[in-house]
Amino acid sequence: MSKEVNAAEAKDWVNLFCYLGNKRTGYGKKNVTCYMHSMVFHVPEAMKTHRNVKKFTGQGVEKNNDDARRVLRRKSNNWDSPADIIRTEGRQWALRKRERLPRAYNKKKIKKDFEVEVEELENEFQVSKEENKKREEQITKLTLSYDKVSKKIERMTKDREESKVENKTLKREISDLRDENSSLKKKVDDLQENIQRLEYSGRIGRLPLTMGSPTQVEKAAIILGEMCTRVLAMMYQKVHPDEYEEDCSYTLKNIEEDIEEIEHKGARQEAKYKWEELKKKLNWNKSLHPRILKAIRKERNIVAHPSSLTKGLLLRSVEDMKEAGKLGGWKSFSRVNEIINIWDLLGQME
């Protein structure tokens, strides 16, 4: 084994000794001495050369150093230090050829270090025991907190289910109120249109309120007004087939509001898609066509509701209204024909 190998191993040994300072008592950089270098570097080389420990122990020199150190520590004004050192060196010189036995191994120090290490381990064990006790207390508290949270979640879930039931009941009541409102609105519209019919007949204000047969123009207005009502109902039915009722009157606002009130997100998106596709198929003009419908329905006479409509009947009614000079503004001849085409397209859809 070369000296370079010994030097590398000696360096590794000292590094390991320093590293153990964080793990065990008695190790660490502060406990490194010059003897460690000798033991891990020079001793293996000397053993290889001399093959006997006694030939290179250097215990005589060590003893001289110890004695000199002891003398220096004890010197005082009454102590002749130089003379004592000379005498000590003389004794050592006289005994230089004698073999010396190794110094006795100090077991007390080892025992003391062991007791200190045991005490430290006991202290660490006690600290760990206290920490475990604290952790158990924390686990107990967390378990209780978990139980409370679980009960709270269960209670909130129950309240949520009850709220859902209440919401369904409220929605049903709202739907009934909406139907009732639609019915009342229809009655109000009927009354208003009845008044308008009487106004057209010249029976309000100057003439007695007597019901007579509607003129050809009034019949045309009735037919066209009924067409507008059915257009809105058919549009509502295309978007909300499950909610549609034949006895109810519908508006564009009803279609859009009922879409927003759909609770399920997927169903709401589907209804919006149906509504947009329907408007594309009908070439619906959101700023024009609603005004046309409103203007035509305003002229409607509620005296009679035609049981059946045909495109021919509608076209003849438009011609009658045009000849009487009743078409203009929002309900011009061409715009009314657009609504007739929309009514016809809705009737052809499945």
**Amino acid 200: pLDDT:** 45
pLDDT at 203: 36
pTM summary value: 0.33
Q: How far apart are CA 224 and CA 315, in angstroms?
A: 9
Instruction: Give the CA distances from residue 319 to residues 34, 216, 309, 327, 334, in Å, rounded to whole numbers and listed in that order.
Output: 125, 11, 16, 9, 11
CA–CA gap between residue 248 and residue 238 (Å, rounded) = 15
**CA 207 – CA 250 distance, rounded (Å):** 35
Q: What is the pLDDT of residue 273?
A: 92
Q: How many whole angstroms separate alpha carbon 304 and alpha carbon 212?
A: 12
Domain boundaries, the chain: 7-95, 216-348
pLDDT in tens, the chain (350 residues): 555 656 777 788 888 888 888 888 888 888 888 777 777 777 777 777 766 666 666 666 677 777 776 776 666 555 566 777 787 787 777 777 766 655 555 555 555 666 777 788 888 888 888 888 888 888 888 888 888 888 888 888 888 888 888 888 888 888 888 888 877 877 777 776 666 555 544 433 333 333 446 677 777 877 888 888 888 889 888 888 888 887 677 888 888 888 888 888 888 899 889 899 988 988 888 888 888 888 887 776 444 455 567 888 888 888 888 888 878 776 788 888 888 888 888 888 76
pLDDT in tens, 305-321: 555 678 888 888 888 88
How high is the pLDDT of residue 303?
Answer: 43
CA separation for the pair 76, 74 (Å, rounded): 7
> What pLDDT is attached to residue 207?
32
Placement of tokens 């859902």 in the chain: 164
CA distances from 150 to 54, 141, 142, 156, 258 (A): 79, 14, 12, 10, 38
CA 43 from centroid of its chain's CA atoms: 68
- CA dist 247 and 261 (Å) reads 21
Model pLDDT, residue 105: 53
Query: How many Cβ atoms from other residues are within 10 Å of residue 144's Cβ?
Result: 10
What is the model's pLDDT at position 206? 35
Q: Residue 32's pLDDT is what?
A: 82
Bridge partners of residue 328, in order along the sequence: 331
pLDDT at 31: 84
- The angle formed by the CA atoms of residues 139, 144 and 148, to the nearest 5 degrees, is 145
Query: pLDDT value at position 4?
Result: 63
